[in-house]
A and B are shown apart, each in its own frame.
Chain A
Amino acid sequence: MIAELGHFALILAFVTSLLVSVVPLVGVARGNAALMQLAVPATLVMTGGVLIAFAALVWAFVTSDFSVALVTSHSHSAKPLIYKISGTWGNHEGSLLLWIVILVSFAAILTFSGRAMPIVLKTRTLAIQGIVSAAFLAFSLFTSNPFARLSPAPLDGNGLNPVLQDPGLALHPPTLYIGYVGLSMAFSFAVAGLLDGRIDRAWAIYVRPWITAAWCALTIGIALGSWWAYYELGWGGWWFWDPVENASLMPWLATTALIHSVSVVAARGIFKSWTVLLAILAFSLSLVGTFIVRSGLLTSVHSFASDPARGVFILGILLFAIGIPLALFAWRGPQLTNDGDYQPVSREFGLLVNNFLLTAATIVVLIGTFYPLGLEMVSGARITVGPPYFDATFNPIMGVLVLAMAFGPVMAWRRGTLPGLRLVASSAIVAALAAVLAGLALVTGISLAGLAGIGMIAWLGGGILADMVHRMRRTHHVGFGARLGAIQLPVWGMWCAHLGMVVFLLGALGNGLFASEAVVRAKPGDVIDLAGNEITFAGIEARQGPNYVTSTAMLDLRRDGQLLARLEPENRLYTAERQTTTEAAIRPRLSGDDYAVLGDGDAQMGYTLRLYHKPLVSWIWAGAGLMALGGFLAAIGRARRPQRIAELDAPT
């Protein structure tokens, strides 16, 4: 009865979520503490129900219970256990349930962690979270029920798309969803704050950990997805400007802006309405992403089997969950008062520039993504907006942002000091010039854009270093160690995140400028030269995997006669699904990846081999990791000083 128990638990969670959506708000309106207090236990019951439902679904997948329709359509008895488990969310219904799990779990965490919060804010936040949960639970139960049953049960399932039979599926969606759904907390806080008619520094301090957590998860989730695409799709790209990728990039950009603007609210009590708007927009954009993936409106490499009818339901959720808060914002937003003003040379101004550019970049991505659809609706013409458009529009905006990034951190709140700025400016310029000259001297035939990129990265790196020096100088401690120790953890976090950007850019640029490639038709015994390495095609053999058979090429990678590695790219035939996948072989190194793909061919005419050397490519994901680490450090640093909230909270 486990499947039915899960189904009942999901229904129970749905009904409870209705309770959470309504009763506590009635309590707030009536001033009834008992009704307000109901939000906490009801949220916990709701969470418990969803967790039980999810566990039951995982159980059905693990035990291959083909009486559950979803298991039949997306699993197979011969699949390795790990892919049975991750297959739970390798489909629309299951991934929606995972999404809901995270949604309600965040609410449950708030019930535990927000003890110091004012009851009205907390109650309202939980209620808003409950409303969002109710909408998605209804979506799940009434259009995408994961517990639909089959009787009689088939004896085996249809299997899982082989591309998804990969550790990437175990990691990427959960992380990304934590990011997407973590934004729901910022959203709920924002709506609750608007209902309160009150956004202040304490609000910012309450909401900031959620934003930081969501941003870290989103960063890692996107990086994992990019990495997965890099090694699985088999042509070594890491970003395609695909609508679904854009759908994850937009919330990330908005959240990056939000994480900066909320710090202004926390520190200075200004940018309030803007921050609220960003919080609403960030989650809205992640909902839009869901819509894109699941409605099939835009074509994408990554979509689920799409169903326009489902899209109608999501559109309804969108109108409800975005439209109403934005209307509320239009009504209440103007009433949010700022506690002061900002000067042109100040941290506030720097962060304003940051927000301005990030928002502009978000809107550009949004327009680029939806423009073809809009044009088709208006004129019927079909166009494509591809990478060249984004290269021409998005990249310059981000370039300016990177230049500005060097200055922002060194500026102080309220009124910046010129000495710090001067130091940063000179270091940045010197570093950039040096890098450009070095680039010119070392690399022949480098493009202008490449040079500009190198200069820009050096500029940002120089700026960050100068900021470090500047801050250490200004502490009152003596000695390098003591000065270093005096730097607060959130500052380390910021440096780490900004350095992550440098590392990321280095990876992107290194791969973009210096990648080398060889596409050859080779027979066993052939030797291919690539980027100073010798690659010997040792032969090809068939292998047996757990639920697939392969044809595996064996490539010996040598430098100066020294065997570095054996690369074994393969093509797999998944027997149950009768589908093939291409598995690249990668030798990842900090200096660059060696990447090999086996193409078509046979013993007579030889095999197509596609070999790449991709310098610094892993820095792309390492940079993302550093960014997330930075966010994590900042959050820890702030969590160690919770008394500040109590201070702010104390009535005068």
Chain B
Amino acid sequence: MTEQSTNEARRTGPKLSFILPLIGFLILAGFAAAALFATLSGSRNPAQLPSVLISKPAPATPVPLLDNGLGTLDLADFAGEPLLVNFFASWCAPCRAEAPALALLAEGVTVIGIAYKDKPADTSAFLTQFGNPFSAIGVDRDGRLGFAWGVYGVPESYVIGSDGTVLLRHAGPIDRRVLDEVVMPAIKDAR
């Protein structure tokens, strides 16, 4: 380099501006890395959306009971104890996997099923085949109740506190691991 250009070099602009791209990149990479490792460790699941119902009272939309279609399912009847409300359907393949874990849960907690957009006959056949862990089953034929709860896919489960507020939403099937790591802690908190 010539003498002159070296002089110029010393005087050229705020060096900070030359570091900006690196800083910007590192911030971006940091977010990406955080998200990536959270995904890998299982703590981040892009398919899980936070529910707007958290800490709010569970919507009280009465739906008919599966048994005879005469009675009405009212969550208020179960007030005073923590509940698990599980939206399921016979056409939903992942729902098949839930019964064992829900049956285990049902030994200590009331588990309510909501048959989401399902024909009652299909629901009954489904329960016969895969097991019926529910204390009561509501029929949400047209998905109105699901809409009120903000259900965006089945299976979806909600933990309701003794006071009727929603404590947790889990989208996706409940297996033993989800039961132990997600649902049970929420129910313990509720008690």
Residues of A at the B interface (CB closer than 8 Å) are 197, 273, 277, 280-281, 284, 288, 291, 295-297, 299, 308-309, 311-312, 315, 318-319, 322-323, 326-327, 329-330, 333-337, 366, 370, 373-374, 376-377, 380-382
Please state if A308 and B22 are interface contacts (CB–CB under 8 Å): no
Chain A contacts of B50 at CB under 8 A? Answer: 380-382
Chain A contacts of B33 at CB under 8 A? Answer: 315
Given contacts A329-B22, A374-B31, A377-B34, 5 further A-B contacts (CB under 8 A): A297-B35, A299-B46, A322-B29, A329-B18, A376-B35
Interchain nearest-CB distance for A237 vs B (Å): 23
B70 sits at the interface (CB 8 A): no
Alpha-carbon gap, A366 to B8, bound state (A): 34
Contact for B39 among A297, A318, A335, A366, CB less than 8 A = A297
Interchain nearest-CB distance for B62 vs A (Å): 31
Alpha-carbon gap, A227 to B50, bound state (A): 36
Chain B contacts of A288 at CB under 8 A? Answer: 28
21 contacts between A and B (CB under 8 A): A277-B21, A297-B32, A299-B46, A308-B36, A308-B40, A312-B36, A315-B33, A318-B29, A319-B29, A326-B21, A329-B18, A329-B21, A329-B22, A333-B18, A335-B12, A337-B8, A370-B32, A373-B32, A377-B31, A380-B50, A382-B50
Please state if B31 and A370 are interface contacts (CB–CB under 8 Å): yes
Please state if A291 and B21 are interface contacts (CB–CB under 8 Å): no
Minimal Cβ-Cβ distance residue in B for A326:
B22
Alpha-carbon gap, A332 to B28, bound state (A): 23
Alpha-carbon gap, A381 to B28, bound state (A): 18
Please state if B25 and A326 are interface contacts (CB–CB under 8 Å): yes
Contact for B5 among A284, A296, A337, A366, CB less than 8 A = A337
Please state if B18 and A273 are interface contacts (CB–CB under 8 Å): yes
Alpha-carbon gap, A489 to B139, bound state (A): 73
Chain A contacts of B22 at CB under 8 A? Answer: 323, 326-327, 329-330
Chain A contacts of B1 at CB under 8 A? Answer: 197, 335
Contact for A337 among B9, B21, B34, B49, CB less than 8 A = B9
B188 sits at the interface (CB 8 A): no
Most B CB within 10 A of own CB, among A296, A299, A311? A311
Which size class do B's interface residues fall under?
A: 20 to 34
Whether A315 touches B32, Cβ cut-off 8 Å, given contacts A329-B21, A381-B50, is yes
Alpha-carbon gap, A380 to B8, bound state (A): 48
B121 sits at the interface (CB 8 A): no
Contact for A334 among B12, B29, B32, B34, CB less than 8 A = B12
Most A CB within 10 A of own CB, among B5, B12, B29, B35? B35
Please provide the 10 A-B residue pairs with the shortest distance between their CB atoms, ordered closest to farther: A326-B22, A333-B18, A330-B19, A335-B9, A337-B5, A308-B39, A337-B8, A374-B31, A330-B18, A377-B34
Chain A contacts of B177 at CB under 8 A? Answer: none
Please state if B25 and A323 are interface contacts (CB–CB under 8 Å): yes
Minimal Cβ-Cβ distance residue in A for B41:
A308
Which residues of B11-58 are within 8 A (CB) of A? 12-13, 15, 18-19, 21-22, 25-26, 28-29, 31-40, 44, 46, 49-50
Interchain nearest-CB distance for B50 vs A (Å): 6
**Cβ contacts B45-85/A at 8 Å (1 or 0 each):** 01001100000000000000000000000000000000000
Chain A contacts of B19 at CB under 8 A? Answer: 330
Minimal Cβ-Cβ distance residue in B for A328:
B22
Minimal Cβ-Cβ distance residue in A for B39:
A308
Alpha-carbon gap, A104 to B66, bound state (A): 65
Chain A contacts of B26 at CB under 8 A? Answer: 323
Alpha-carbon gap, A322 to B32, bound state (A): 14
Chain B contacts of A319 at CB under 8 A? Answer: 29
Minimal Cβ-Cβ distance residue in B for A198:
B1
Please state if A377 and B35 are interface contacts (CB–CB under 8 Å): yes
Chain A contacts of B34 at CB under 8 A? Answer: 377
